[in-house]
Chain A
Amino acid sequence: DVKVTQSSRYLVKRTGEKVFLECVQDMDHENMFWYRQDPGLGLRLIYFSYDVKMKEKGDIPEGYSVSREKKERFSLILESASTNQTSMYLCASSLDGTDFNSPLHFGNGTRLTVT
């Protein structure tokens, strides 16, 4: 089974702190994604990566950056955390961007609270 592991289930950070959210997948997937999930808004794509050192902006990249130095690891960085970044963050991976049969596999999420 594909496993996507997010390093923290819960995080509490202060406004202005730099925050790192880590995600690791164990199935040699090409694509990795970061979403945030807020009530009533669904999942919104922040950034995605289709190869090592490659990244693409999603729909809401402002205030975030990402890093993919190794294929299995995709990090989300909040440069200066703000209260409006309080949310559930979900990491996902999929096998191949050209294979439309390839579903996303999600981690269990990191609930981030910024105070």
Chain B
Amino acid sequence: EDQVTQSPEALRLQEGESSSLNCSYTVSGLRGLFWYRQDPGKGPEFLFTLYSAGEEKEKERLKATLTKKESFLHITAPKPEDSATYLCAVHLGEYGNKLVFGAGTILRVKS
């Protein structure tokens, strides 16, 4: 069965304290891996798409990397405004852009 697991479930950081979120997957036919950010009371907002092992994408303090079994979202020198739930999803390549989501990591950054 296709599965996506995110860890940790929750992470508390001090402002400026860098860390990483993990997304591991056991799927066949991976066509892409997506990262989304979700703020309380809002829908998820697209961050990155990664397609092949070794690929990296960056946006401000965030960097996403991909291996054959997992992806990491590295957060460098986080700020309180980076607090959100980060969701990982894998694209199975079926027609219609179907994604399988992980349960998310809740990140809190304290000043």
Contact = CB atoms under 8 A, between A and B. Distances in A.
Interface of A: 4, 31, 35, 40-45, 48, 50, 56, 58, 90, 92, 94, 97-109
Contacts, number: 64
Interface residues of B, number: 26
Nearest to A9: B41
Contacts of A107: 43
B87 interface: yes
A104 B46 CA distance: 7
A31 B46 contact: no
A97 B97 contact: yes
Contacts of B99: 43, 45, 104
Given A106-B44, A109-B42, A56 B101 contact: no
Interface stretch (B53-61, B62-70, B71-79, B88-96): B88-96
